[in-house]
Structure 1
Amino acid sequence: MAPVRGDGMRGLAVFISDIRNCKSKESEVKRMNKELANIRSKFKGDKTLDGYQKKKYVCKLLFIFLLGHDIDFGHMEAVNLLSSNKYSEKQIGYLFISVLVNTNSDLIKLIIQSIKNDLQSRNPIHVNLALQCIANIGSQDMAEAFANEIPKLLVSGDTMDVVKQSAALCLLRLFRTCPDIIPGGEWTSRIIHLLNDHHMGVVTAATSLIDALVKKNPDEYKGCVSLAVSRLSRIFTSSYTDLQDYTYYFVPAPWLSVKLLRLLQNYNPPTEDPGVRGRLNECLETILNKAQEPPKSKKVQHSNAKNAVLFEAINLIIHNDSEPNLLVRACNQLGQFLSNRETNLRYLALESMCHLAQSEFSHEAVKKHQEVVILSMKMEKDVSVRQQAVDLLYAMCDRSNAEEIVQEMLNYLETADYSIREEMVLKVAILAEKYATDFTWYVDVILNLIRIAGDYVSEEVWYRVIQIVINREEVQGYAAKTVFEALQAPACHENMVKVGGYILGEFGNLIAGDSRSAPMVQFKILHSKYHLCSSMTRALLLSTYIKFINLFPEIRGTIQDVFRQDSNIRSADAELQQRASEYLQLSIVASKDVLATVLEEMPSFPERESSILAVLKKKKPGRVPENEVRESKSPVPNHNNAQNQNHATTNKISFSNHTSDLLGLSTPPSQQQNSQNTLIDVLGDIYNNQSSSSSSTAVNNAKKFLFKNNGVLFENEMIQIGVKSEFRQNLGRLGLFYGNKTQVPLTNFQPVLQWPAEEGKKLNVQIKAVDSTLDAGAQIQQMLTAECIDSYSDSPSLQLSFRYNGTPQNFTIKLPLTVNKFFEPTEMNAESFFARWKNLGGEKQRAQKVFKAQIPLDLQGAKNKLSGFGMQILESIDPNPDNLVCAGIIHTQSHQVGCLLRLEPNKQAQMFRLTVRASKEQVTTEMCNLLVDQF
């Protein structure tokens, strides 16, 4: 209130002083009620109040409200202040309105009219006050009332810079309330060009606005990329005097730089223009170079601003993931921060290096810092930094350093904070399995995990070691011996008893030849733990005992006595009672052959993906690197073959069981749903793009599927659509995986195929129905079959509609069913190729296009694309070694179309000449159209 007191309102100053001098709550309320009564009487009875007096009394009401008391009068007087020409009076009126007026108030129409008057004023101070009030309230009514005025203010050439700045921020606030407020068309270009404004404050505010608009409609605002790069380039090449007003502790325009770098991360890649990409890389290199320079100031503000820009630049480098030199330099720069005395810098460096470790270009550079990261895990004072170090060790682990990292994590686990132990156990288990060259090492690691942190070993972990042992004969004897030795410890965790009971029940006979592990010794060691365990573990041990009767008939009587004990056969636990009585009768009644058949060794588990990885992804969504661990179904601990085996539900489903016979020779995979309410990684590469699971930007990857069959087709903040497909001759089948990324069900879920009837005669597509509700965090699968009857152009679309929180959503996505999917690569020698090439020389049998390369020429990349396109690359055919020559046959139901292709690069001109020859004109045209957009 100091500025107001300086305005000469002595009565307000006295009232505030009186309130502060009150000795008790009662005296404060009494003084306040007295003042409220006085103000009320003035507003009601005194018709001669001038603007100054109204302002003073409104200020008192504001002060009372800020002390926590309700104010139910004075609103009309505040509205009247809006029409004053004095800045101080208008300011107080707007302040009162912004704080106390409800958007449903009857006064809102009067307020809107007063604001409109001020927006049309020639006084920029009044316009600014009006814009700030609109932004503070930000209601739907405000958005509708000023949808025309504010955009005009923003782009008008007559508007002052300070007003433009406020208009951009005001429009951003209203856009968040009402996304349709901003018009499209020509307005898009005018808003984008605010990035070129001479006033840095306008550019800073406009960047925030454009960033929000890009997230909603990235394609419409893609023109902002080149302007953002240009502005960045100017910032880092300007002298101190050029940006003196916007230089913060020797760092030029740090806030604007960070905003521009974040804006560019909405696109991947940000640009395909070689010139713009070159300028952007120069900017990023400049930022990395400045980070190496000695600091120009010792003050913390300088380092904070400098590092804010640096880390955002590194985020953009990681997001692009296309410049090896920049990625390695970023990694080296972050490595220097690992020993910095600032805790926040060490944390941010570890976090960024986790992302760098997932790039093929910088993974090896990250590994060079392994010793420092291990030291951070052990010695850091801050638990969050220690946890980040564990994350980085997990991300940088590969086959060359797995044993060392796993051992270090095991050593640290004994003294690790309780808050991170469970997560560390999961990571150690995943790494041990993923990089195990000798599964005896894997068994040792898991048993050590149980010994060190048994309370934090989940069922998924100990299930997994059993699956490994059952599926790998070479490790069964070692596992039985190792777990037998572990059970001899006086204090043995219950999870160790479960693993020991399961493995000895299956493979105890492999170590029974040694007198130290004779059948009776095995039984006594297990039974010594029996009364210390929970009823679930006892049930498992009873199953182990009946297995022992089959493996070791000589101890049958001893085990039958255990079954007969009152604590078992008359147990209050129904499960224990039933098992004891049934197992006892089975051991008495069944013949030796029947017993051997019923209690035979468990069969191998079918290979499936790891449920441990799914648990870890659920704990840290979007931050777990892709893992190659594959898993069989989780076993239940009750391994009695006499009963139905209900294997524990896994968190993963695998499509691979059906890919060997995708085209109808086996039953297609049924619709499946995740019971754990977490999205399922059904595809090998669905989570490769980390930015897309956390960004609200819609990502449509349809074009990328020209060269691949599996991956993420579409993703936004609500849904992810993955594809896995296979093609054989003129037949194909696609599995579409719809994943609900939200915490609420998607209702009225309906994917509809869009494909004109005339095109359906050339490509017959059949789609299976799915449930109309997609539960929160769940995933369902939909199957499509395709039959190519004749050559065709374009590809079918999928119209997806559903309701999210009652709001209808609609998306149209191109399906990856272009005609090249039905290619069969064909080998040819030079003589056959050129003879065929000459025969296809008719005007309707050839098509040729000359075009400029969208990215710098990369012959190996072009070769990979043509191979992914489906054609056979013919080596040493063309006299020019740079030319790429391909051959293939398109299979249709009615005929086969031979197709030859020649791609001639001109490195100097950065141009391509593409020539396609085929026996059908439509094929040559379509092949050219498909490929030109991709080079």
Structure 2
Amino acid sequence: MSRNPVHVNLAMQCIANIGSKDMAEAFGQEIPRLLVSADAIDVVKQSAALCLLRLFRTSPEVIPSGEWTSRIIHLLNDQHMGVVTAAVSLIEALVRHSSEEYRGCVSLAVSRLSRIVTSSYQDLQDYTYYFVPAPWLSVKLLRLLQNYPPPDDPGVRGRLNECLETILNKAQEPPKSKKVQHSNAKNAVLMEAISLIIHSDSEPQLLVRACNQLGQFLTHRETNLRYLALESMCLLATSEFSHEAVKKHQETVINALKTERDVSVRQRAVDLLYAMCDRTNAETIVQEMLNYLESADYSIREEMVLKVAILAEKYAMDYTWYVDVILNLIRIAGDYVSEEVWYRVIQIVVNREDVQGYAAKTVFEALQAPACHENMVKVGGYILGEFGNLIAGDARSAPAVQFKLLHSKYHLCSAPTRALLLSTYVKYINLFPEIKSQIQDVLHSDNNLRSADAELQQRASEYLSLSVHATTDVLATVLEEMPPFPERESSILAILKKKSGRIPDISKTPRAANPHASERPQGLGTSDTPTLLSTAGAAVQAPAAAAPTNTGLLVDVLGDLGGGGTSTAAAPPATNGAHPASPAGGDYGAAAAAVHDQQAAVKKFICKNNGVLFENDILQIGIKSEYRLNLGRVGIFFGNKTPMALTGFSTSVTLPDGLTNRLTVQAKPVDDNIDGGAQVQQTVNFELIEEYVGMPDLSVSFMYSGVQQKLHLKLPVTPNKFIEPTEMNSEAFFARWKNLSGPAQEAQKIFKAKLPMDASLGGRLAGFGMQLLEGVDPNPENFVCAGILHGRGVQVGSLLRLEPNKQAQMYRLTIRSSKEKTSQVLCDLLVDQF
């Protein structure tokens, strides 16, 4: 309130440095007034903008809406550059929180940017850095504009395009200083302008010019510039306007792959080759990547294998070329070829008659190498088991020769691969009766029939019995050729996206439709390798291992991420491995698993306030909550784990029928778009009227990759959250305990321990909300607690006693409360925590 601006600034410095919710609540109305006051001097406005930004990050509701929105936006017109610079930082944070409300900032930001770009460094002398006018403010404005699509107003759009053209023109001017600070400032503005051009993706001329400018940086002596140029060109390659311009730099990028000393720059070169690939250059790029793969860093080999496999499948004009590429991949980098890659080549060969004979001949030749990778044996075993008859007419690949070649690899392979080879052998019995006795000798050998591996033993005994007792017709039926796999798209792209968030979304490329996702080949055996039995046989598919999930997305918000459950309630188009579909299109209990995972996640929140509530390959939902008396505030954080935006995003928090008169809820709106890799927050306020059973419902709906996704979750707001801990001595506790002796005031449960009976018991009780009372119970093994449940106009005192019996691994839990039914509600909530 001081009239001395120095005192006002010091006060705001203090508020901003502490930046707590209490500070936000106490001064949330005062700081905005200082910010837009006509009497405030520039330095006070500047500090007010930054102080308000700090409080907004702590408590978003601190920013008033309505008329204040326009007044804050118009700070972009302030004559003092320092005020504008501080205001842009505040406005960008507000835009990310509520983009529609602050849409009016676009025209003012373009106007201010235009004035900076068209001015000379003499005009803005106080804000010029090494001959570059206001570079920090320019970058902030360009970044702010990337939160919106290109302006609809032709005048504003034309002015923005002029600004971007001017920045590109200035990049071509000779440097005004040889100092590195000059080029750094100039290039910082240029790279942010290119980011805005790529974001808009609507001006062909600007996109091509940006591409040409980045092309000059590809051979720059500065490693960082080469890195940034390659990274930005990956995005330009996905635009129909600049894709061809990017392709002109193919030779330079290939050269960078071969000569760059920095592995991160080589990685970006691989990414760019992947992004610029189309039907016209696929063979060249795939061959260059294969050549590089032999000497590539181990850290990027697996990712490169996936990229080569995707490109080979997507742009294969001749599937014999595709087969050659995949077999080369296995030969060069077999250890880095995932199961999905060799599953996919089998799917394609089985489904395409024109390539089956070539594939059989090629794998037969590949298996003759002295050092043959096990993945090659898997592919060879499967393909020869199905199509070995197509090359059996040649004496060099006669049935006996094929069998001898495969069996020479048998003892060098792991048990799952040997199980696959046994299936190949039994297929040979049907295809080539002349070598039946040789195969029966192998099946009958002690190594197989008495193998310590149950899968090998079972296959050997069943296949042997089948070959001895089945008639020719039965044998031919059971061991007939595998039917074509259902037409599914490749799962490799989904795996690649999991491994690297940098990969551009090639669904945006102006080329053929990108492969999305699929399951592994039909008929995975219990050894988790493709079986050669037909659908008339005993082929079943085992569920895949659960896919790794990224639990780091909310780390900056939650701190403690323990307790998140995963669910397939909104599985993405790409399979996440949690509940794969069966060959017939069925589902292995996905719905039940989703319900179970959600219930498990919610139960963990009964004794804690923060953590991950839900996670799948698309979305991560985190909870951070705080309670005071009968009021609660829950922050729900929605994190987009994909590089694509989630559009039409909406949520609703509702109360089931039994809760409507016992709890009130008020939810603030949430942004309707979540950019790739971004995170938004929704605040929901609750007030307890009286105790209840159940939880509020959270519904989430959004579009991902053109597919509507819906989630229905339980929000972990339970009555115990509204308990205030209460201190008591031993005398007061037992006097109160005795008074609460009515039958309806007590709830008791005796139950078996589900978790270890260790020191964490006290922590779980404290997390439930009551005060843990030390030294009150005569038995030091017991735990006693006290607390008051606060509802609207009502307070319910509650006492708790937990008696562990470590020898029997049992508990007796007793809760007494001053209000009927409250004890039972609290007892039912707590019993699952031990």
TM-score (norm 2): 0.67
Residue 12 of structure 2 aligns with an amino acid whose one-letter code is L
Which residue in 1 is equivalent to 2:459?
579
**Equivalent residue, structure 2, for 1:96:** none
Equivalent position amino acid for 1:246 in 2: Y
Q: What pairs with 1:559-708 in structure 2 (closer than 5 Å)? A: 559-621=439-501, 623-627=503-507, 628-629=514-515, 633-635=519-521, 636=524, 637-641=530-534, 642-646=537-541, 679=617, 699-700=647-648
Query: Which residue of 211, 232, 238 maps to 2:92?
Result: 211
The 2-side partners of 1:210 and 1:470 are apart by 57
1:558 to 428, 434, 438: 438
Q: 1:458 to 1:352 in 2, by over 3 A?
A: same
1:165 corresponds to: 46
Any idea what the Cα deviations from partners look like across 1:262-304, whole Å, max 9, x if unmatched? 00011123x1000000000000000000000001000000011
Residue 828 (structure 1) aligns with: none
Q: Equivalent residues in 2 for 1:808-827 (5 A)?
A: none
Task: Measure how far apart 1:391 and its partner are.
Answer: 0.3
Deviations 1:736-763 (A, max 9, x none): xxx999899x99xxxxxxxxxxxxxxxx
Aligned-partner Cα distance in 1 for 2:371–2:265: 33
Aligned to 1:135: 16
* 1:468 counterpart = 2:348: yes
Q: Which of these residues, 246, 257, 260, is aligned with residue 127 of structure 2? A: 246
C-alpha distance in 2 between matches for 1:591 and 1:493: 37
Matched position secondary structure for 1:451: helix
Q: CA deviation digits over 1:22-48, x for unaligned, max 9?
A: xxxxxxxxxxxxxxxxxxxxxxxxxxx
Aligned to 1:5: none
CA contact (8 A) 1:501 1:526 kept: yes
Q: 1:680 to 1:231 in 2, by over 3 A?
A: closer
Q: Which sections of structure 2, spanning at least 5 residues, go unmatched?
A: 508-513, 525-529, 548-570, 575-584, 598-613, 620-638, 651-668, 685-696, 719-834
1:645 partner letter: V
Tell me the SS of whatever aligns to 1:540. helix
Q: Deviations over 1:315-369 (max 9, x none)?
A: 0000000000000000000000000010000000000000000000000000000
Larger radius of gyration: 1
The 1:638/1:404 distance shift into structure 2, 3 A limit, reads same
In the alignment, the residues of structure 1 paired with residue 346 and residue 677 of structure 2 have an alpha-carbon distance, to the nearest angstrom, of 32
For structure 1, the residue ranges without an aligned partner over 5 or more in a row are 1-119, 656-665, 682-690, 703-714, 722-738, 748-770, 784-797, 808-935
Please give the per-residue CA displacement for 1:422-444, whole angstroms capped at 9, x wherever unaligned.
00000000000000000000000
- Give 1:801 shift: 7.7
Is 2:422 aligned against 1:542?
yes
Deviation at 1:622, TM superposition (A): 6.2
CA 1:613–1:743: 2 relative to 1, 3 Å: farther
d(CA) in 2 for partners of 1:456 and 1:488?
Answer: 21
Q: Distance in 2 between matches of 1:162 and 1:527?
A: 83
The CA distance in 2 between the partners of 1:331 and 1:282, in whole Å, is 17
Runs of 4+ more than 6 Å apart? 650-655, 666-677, 691-698, 715-721, 739-744, 771-783, 803-807
Could you tell me how far 1:620 is from its partner in structure 2? 1.7
CA-to-partner distance for each residue in 1:48-77, whole Å, 9 max, x for gaps? xxxxxxxxxxxxxxxxxxxxxxxxxxxxxx
Specify the SS of the correspondent of 1:164. Answer: helix
Q: Aligned match of 1:506 in 369, 380, 386?
A: 386
Corresponding residue of 2:745: none
CA contact (8 A) 1:327 1:356 kept: yes
Alpha carbons of 1:720 and 1:537: their partners in 2 closer, same or farther (altered >3 Å)? farther
Cα distance change, pair 512–806 in 1 and its aligned pair in 2 (3 A) = farther
**Which of 403, 406, 421 is residue 286 of structure 2 equivalent to?**
406
State the distance in 2 between where 1:276 and 1:377 align.
Answer: 41
Letter in 2 for 1:147: G
- Paired residue for 2:178? 298
* Cα-to-partner distance string for 1:719-739 (whole Å, 9 max, x where unaligned): 979xxxxxxxxxxxxxxxxx9
Letter in 2 for 1:638: T
User: 3-state DSSP class of the match of 1:607?
Assistant: coil
Tell me, in whole angstroms, the C-alpha distance in 2 between the residues paired with 1:491 and 1:776: 51
Residue of structure 2 aligned with 1:370, choices 250, 261, 282: 250
Mapped partners of 1:121, 1:740: distance in 2: 44
Residue identity matched to 2:539: N
Compared with structure 1, are the counterparts of its residues 647 and 360 closer, same or farther at alpha carbon in structure 2 (3 Å cutoff)? Answer: farther
Calculate percent identity across the aligned residue pairs. 73
Q: TM-score, normalised by structure 1?
A: 0.60
Is this contact kept in 2: 1:351–1:388, CA < 8 A? yes
| Corresponding residue number in structure 1 for 2:653 | none
The reply on whether 1:429 has 2:309 as its aligned counterpart is yes
Matched residues, number: 600
Deviation at 1:701, TM superposition (A): 9.2
Cα distance, 1:692–1:587 mapped onto 2, change above 3 Å? closer
1:440 to 320, 325, 331: 320
Residue in structure 1 matched with residue 81 of structure 2 by the alignment = 200
Distance in 2 between residues matched to 1:510 and 1:571, nearest whole Å: 33
Deviation at 1:645, TM superposition (A): 3.1
State the shift of 1:697 in Å. Answer: 8.9
Contact map agreement 1:358 1:395 (CA 8 A) in 2? yes
The correspondence of residues 149-160 of structure 1 with structure 2, limited to 5 A, is 149-160=30-41
CA shift for structure 1 position 640: 2.4
Q: Which moved more, 1:668-677 or 1:548-557?
A: 668-677
More moved, 125-134 vs 505-514: 125-134
Aligned residue number for residue 149 of structure 2: 268
Distance 1:437 1:509 in 2: 26
Aligned-pair distance for 1:128? 1.3
Which residue of 176, 196, 213 maps to 2:57?
176
Matched residue SS, 1:145: helix
Q: Give the 3 Å change call, closer, same or farther, for CA 590–668 of structure 1 in structure 2.
A: closer
**Are residues 446 and 716 of structure 1, via their aligned partners in 2, closer, same or farther at CA, if it must alter by over 3 Å?**
farther
Once the two structures are superposed, residues 695-715 of structure 1 have per-residue CA deviations (whole angstroms, 9 ceiling, x without a partner) of 99985499xxxxxxxxxxxx9
Contact persistence 2:617–2:641 (CA under 8 A): no
Matched with 1:226 is 107
Q: Which amino acid aligns with 2:182?
A: H
Deviation at 1:644, TM superposition (A): 2.7
Q: Distance in 2 between matches of 1:526 and 1:696?
A: 45
Greater relative CO, 1 or 2 (CA 8 Å, sep 6+) = 2
Tell me, what secondary structure is at the counterpart of 2:202? Answer: coil
Classify 1:581/1:614 alpha carbon distance in 2 versus 1 (closer, same or farther; 3 Å).
same
Tell me how far apart the structure 2 counterparts of residues 743 and 526 of structure 1 sit (CA, whole Å).
56
Q: CA deviation at 1:148?
A: 1.4
Amino acid at match of 2:109: A
CA distance in 2, matches of 1:523, 1:613: 35
Task: Give how far 1:804 is off.
Answer: 7.1
Whether the aligned pair in 2 keeps the contact of 1:165 and 1:201 (CA below 8 Å) is yes
Q: Residue 256 of structure 2: SS of its match in structure 1? A: helix
The Cα shift of 1:643 comes to 0.9
